Every structure is written in structure tokens, then in C-alpha cells.
């Protein structure tokens, strides 16, 4: 396909149905225009060439807040915002990317060595993913891409992981005939973020975006996580995510402290991570443990153990179609994140936008559950709102945080993929 053909292609019956499926019934036309915009941007930057579309969604975390990095369980879903690319294959082993709002860059795949000064840069993610592919017997090669994203940056819906899975899927589709598994793509993306980008993330974000739909993921064995697809049945509520403000970009040390403190506790039991520690043994040891680690570390460990149990309970509630039990569990998860995990604000922060958003949400009729969303400390909250009250809730949150920061979303069944009309 060429840019001149996009306008007609996105109007086809198959394209309209696919766009509704990926972005929601009311956003198909809006996203058809995005596809044309990306195509035009590609042609302007790289010329009138044959191309393919690739898309990687954002993700929402329903349960399992900050458990993945200690081999815990999560309940997560892909959502109807995405990073979208217009891509053509090249034969020069160079990746060229022009992303809307960012300076274009290119990266040769002939040298995939880690360069510390590149940490925190998109080039590092491309190199890291390519390195993982090569080291694991997969193929990589050159391409040019024009990229745009409607995944809110630095807001807790995994804009960086969305970009990572986009790159992984492009390598997969163009050079591996689509044979790289979804979990392998997620692991390649996590490797890039941990080793090349130098952010110590877990595997939840990447897994959710790679898998699509709603999934319970058990990371007890991170090399081969157990994945259970879950059919989400609760159509009585809308999912609304609000970006309360702040920026995740300066919070790496706060995220890292959660993992470090959990593992500080596990080390006292001669284990590398909390999943290997017996919960009752941990509880019995608290009187002595409090003299060796901080109270916050102990509370964060309690959150980990209880959150794993809550994920199981949430999956059971979904399978039993027990909406009241499900929303209660989501609320308990958020309460634990606030009180025990303590990732709703940085200690020195007096603005406290996430707590403000949670409290305001709890005072709006029809909100069945609300909680911090994702990494925390800044960014987003997620609310499950009765459909009849969604408009009022969105209006109320928009008055406080701005209409451009309130998103009524749907669950997307497609993970990172090549888009074929």
C-alpha cells in the first residue's frame, strides 16, 4: 500500500470493522484520520514507498500493583490507545524512525553494544530489543518508520512499553515471519528497558501489550510465565483513566526503591525475591525483622503477598461474573497501594494529584471502584464507572484535571500487531 491508497483503504468494510474493534465503536473515524496522517508523514519524510501499518496498544493494570518484579501475579489488559507506525522494510541494516514530537534518529544494527550515554533514549530501546532477538536466535534488519502515539506519555499507561512492543513486532513480522512468541517479544522489550534504557521494570507492561485482551499473568517463572486469558464480562461500567498530572520521567529512583525494598526483605530469608518467601514465615518474623529493615519495606512486602491473593480473587470474581466482588477487590487493591505500597505520591510532594483524584472520584455517584494506576507517584488513576453516570464523572474530572487528560477507554483484544485491512 502507498499513502495515496490509505484514504480509500480505511473506508472499506473490513477496515471500519477492525478500527471499531481496536479503538472502540465511537473512535473508528477519528483513528482512520490518524492512519492517513501517519501515511502523509511517512511520505514527507521518506518518500512515496510501499508500506505496512503496525500498532501496539497501551495497557491498564486491574490488579497486581508492583508485584511483577518480585515474580508475583498481575491482572492486566490492553486498552484502546496505541502507538502507530507506517513502516517499510530496507536492506541496509539501519533502523530509521521519525516519531511525531521527537527528533528523527537512525540506528545501525551492525553495532548493538550498550552505550551508557544512550540510556533513557529511544535508540537504546531499539538496540536492546535487537540485541535480545539476535542473542536468542531471531532475525533483525533495517526498516524506516513514521510513528505517532495517542498513548499518554509519562502517565502510567505504558507509552514506553508500547513503543518497545511496536519495534519488537516490526522485527518479528518483517524478519521472522511472525514466528516470535508474544512472551518472547515482551521479554525482549523488558530486556531493552532494564539493560539498555536502565529502568528496572518488571514484565507486566510488556506482557499486557504483547498479549492483548485481559490476562492474568503469573511471573513465578519469568522465563515462561503462566498466562490465563480472561473473558471480562462486566458491561455495566465504563473504564475511565484520568491523568492527574506529574511526570514519571523523574521518578525512576522511587520505582526502583519499591523493588529494592521488597528484595531487601526477601534477602533476610536468603531468597532473591519475595515470591520464594513463605507468607506466614514472613509474618512470624516481623518482630525481629523490624530491626533489620525499614517499616516501609515490611509494609511493601505485606502489600506484595496480599496483592497476589487479590489477583486470584479477582479472576474468580470475573469467572463467576460477580461484579460486586470484583469492584470490591479492585478497591482493596487501590487501598493497599495507597497505605502499604505508598506509591500515590512522593513523600515531599504536597500537591498530591493522585490522592486528590482518588478522593474526588469517591465522591461521585456511580463510581464502583477507583485506584492508582500503574507505577504511581504521578500520573493516572483508573475508575470503573456505571455507564449511566460516566458522562457526569468525565465532566467532573475534566473540570479539575482538564478534558484532554480524561480518557474513556475500552479493552482491546489485539496486542502488538501488523494491521492488515
In a domain, 421, yes or no: no
Per-residue pLDDT reduced to its tens digit, 266-313: 999 999 999 999 999 999 999 999 999 999 999 999 999 999 999 999
Residue 212 and residue 333 share a domain = no
Residues across the chain: 421
User: Does residue 249 carry a pLDDT above 70?
Assistant: no
Q: How many CB atoms lie within 10 A of CB 402?
A: 13
Residue 348's CATH number: 3.30.70.890
Distances from the Cα of 176 to the Cαs of 137, 368, 372, 387, 403, in angstroms?
A: 10, 44, 38, 43, 42
Instruction: Give Cα 129 distance to the centre of its chain.
Output: 17
Q: What is the rounded CA–CA span in Å between residue 165 and residue 170?
A: 8
Clarify whether residues 204 and 71 are in a common domain.
Answer: yes
Statement to judge: residues 56 and 203 lie in one domain: yes
Identify the domain boundary among 231, 249, 268: 231
395 and 248 belong to one structural domain:
yes
Q: Give 324's contacts (C-beta < 8 A, 6+ positions apart).
A: none
User: Is 417 a member of any domain?
Assistant: no
Q: SS3 for 84-138, per residue?
A: EEEEEECCCCEEEEEECCCCCEEEECCCCCCCHHHCCCHHHHHHHHHHHHHHCCC
Q: Which of 216, 231, 246 is the last residue of a domain?
A: 231
Q: Is the dihedral of CA 66, 72, 76, 82 positive or negative?
A: positive
Section 20-32 average pLDDT = 87
Q: Assess if residue 415 is contained within a domain.
A: no
Question: CA-to-CA distance for 144 and 86, rounded, in angstroms?
Answer: 8
Question: Same structural domain for residues 53 and 169?
Answer: yes
Count CB atoms within 10 A of the CB of residue 372: 29
What is residue 204's predicted lDDT score, i.e. its pLDDT?
83
Query: Does the residue 198 lie in any domain?
Result: yes
Per-residue pLDDT at 257: 94
Name the residue range of residue 45's domain.
3-231
Please report the pLDDT score of residue 44 as a whole number: 82
Domain finish residue from 213, 231, 249? 231
Alpha-carbon separation of residue 246 from 45, 60, 213, 352, 377 (angstroms): 33, 18, 28, 9, 8
Q: How far apart are CA 325 and CA 213, in angstroms?
A: 21
Residues 36, 38, 40: CA angle, nearest 5 degrees: 70
Is 206 part of any domain? yes
Claim to verify: residue 244 and residue 154 sit in the same structural domain: no
**DSSP codes joined into one string, 340-389:** II--SS-TT-SS-HHHHHHHHHHTSTTEEEEEE-TT-SSSEEEEEEEHHH
The CATH number of the domain holding residue 94 is: 3.30.230.10
Q: What is the mean pLDDT of residues 83-88?
A: 94
Co-location of 144 and 288 in the same domain: no
Q: Return the sign of the alpha-carbon dihedral for residues 340, 342, 343, 345.
A: positive
Cα→Cα distances 28→16, 162, 344, Å: 7, 20, 34
Grid cell locating 384: 470503573
Q: How many domains does the chain have?
A: 2
**What is the mean pLDDT of the segment spanning 144-163?**
81
N-to-C CA span, the chain: 10
Q: What is the pLDDT of residue 154?
A: 57
- The reply to whether 416 falls in a domain is no
168/152 same-domain check: yes
Q: Is residue 83 part of a domain?
A: yes
Are the CB atoms for 190 and 202 separated by under 8 Å? yes
Q: What is the pTM of this model?
A: 0.84
My answer on whether 113 and 202 are in the same domain is: yes
In the sheet that holds 406-409, the strands lie side by side as 367-372, 380-386, 237-243, 406-409
In a domain, 351, yes or no: yes
pLDDT per residue as tens digits for the range 332-362: 999 999 999 999 999 888 999 999 999 999 9
Residue 65 has pLDDT above 70, yes or no: yes
Whether residues 257 and 354 share a domain: the answer is yes
Same domain? 161 vs 19 = yes
Q: Are residues 182 and 250 in the same domain?
A: no
Amino acid at each position: 500500500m502507498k499513502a495515496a491508497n490509505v484514504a480509500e483503504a480505511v473506508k472499506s468494510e473490513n477496515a471500519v470493522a477492525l478500527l471499531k474493534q481496536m479503538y472502540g465503536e465511537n473512535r473508528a473515524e477519528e483513528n482512520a484520520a490518524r492512519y492517513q496522517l501517519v501515511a502523509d508523514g511517512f511520505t514527507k519524510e521518506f518518500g512515496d514507498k510501499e508500506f505496512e501499518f503496525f500498532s501496539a496498544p497501551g495497557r491498564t493494570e486491574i490488579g497486581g500493583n508492583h508485584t511483577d518484579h518480585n515474580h508475583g501475579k498481575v491482572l492486566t489488559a490492553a486498552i484502546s490507545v496505541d502507538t502507530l507506525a507506517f513502516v517499510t522494510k530496507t536492506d541496509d541494516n539501519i533502523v530509521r524512525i521519525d516519531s511525531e514530537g521527537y527528533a528523527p534518529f537512525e540506528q545501525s544494527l551492525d553495532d548493538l553494544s550498550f552505550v551508557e550515554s544512550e540510556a533513557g533514549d529511544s535508540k537504546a530501546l531499539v538496540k536492546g530489543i535487537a540485541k535480545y532477538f539476535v542473542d536468542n536466535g531471531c532475525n533483525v534488519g533495517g526498516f524506516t518508520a513514521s510513528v505517532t502515539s495517542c498513548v499518554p506519555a509519562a502517565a502510567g499507561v505504558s507509552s514506553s512499553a508500547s513503543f518497545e512492543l511496536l519495534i519488537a513486532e516490526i522485527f518479528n513480522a518483517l524478519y521472522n515471519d511472525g514466528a516470535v512468541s508474544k512472551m518472547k517479544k515482551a521479554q525482549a522489550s523488558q530486556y531493552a528497558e532494564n539493560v539498555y534504557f536502565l529502568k528496572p521494570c518488571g514484565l507486566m507492561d510488556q506482557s499486557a501489550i504483547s498479549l492483548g485482551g485481559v490476562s492474568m499473568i503469573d511471573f513465578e517463572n519469568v522465563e515462561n510465565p503462566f498466562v490465563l486469558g480472561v473473558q471480562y464480562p462486566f458491561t455495566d461500567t465504563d473504564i475511565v483513566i484520568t491523568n492527574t498530572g506529574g511526570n514519571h520521567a523523574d521518578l525512576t529512583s522511587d520505582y526502583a526503591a519499591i523493588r529494592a525494598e521488597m528484595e531487601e526483605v526477601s534477602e533476610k530469608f536468603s531468597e532473591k525475591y519475595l515470591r520464594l518467601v513463605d507468607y506466614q514465615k514472613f509474618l512470624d518474623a516481623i518482630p525481629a525483622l523490624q530491626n533489620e529493615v525499614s517499616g516501609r519495606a515490611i509494609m511493601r512486602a505485606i502489600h506484595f503477598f496480599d496483592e497476589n491473593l487479590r489477583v486470584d480473587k479477582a479472576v474468580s470474581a470475573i469467572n463467576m461474573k460477580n461484579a460486586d466482588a470484583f469492584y470490591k477487590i479492585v478497591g482493596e487493591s487501590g487501598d493497599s497501594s495507597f497505605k502499604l505500597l505508598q506509591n500515590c505520591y512522593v513523600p515531599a510532594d504536597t500537591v498530591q494529584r493522585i490522592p486528590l483524584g482518588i478522593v474526588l472520584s469517591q465522591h461521585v455517584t456511580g463510581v464502583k471502584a477507583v485506584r492508582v494506576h500503574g507505577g504511581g507517584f504521578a500520573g493516572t488513576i483508573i475508575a470503573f464507572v456505571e455507564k449511566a453516570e460516566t458522562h457526569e464523572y468525565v465532566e467532573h474530572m475534566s473540570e479539575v484535571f482538564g478534558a484532554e487528560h480524561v480518557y474513556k477507554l475500552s479493552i482491546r483484544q489485539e496486542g502488538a500487531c501488523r494491521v492488515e485491512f
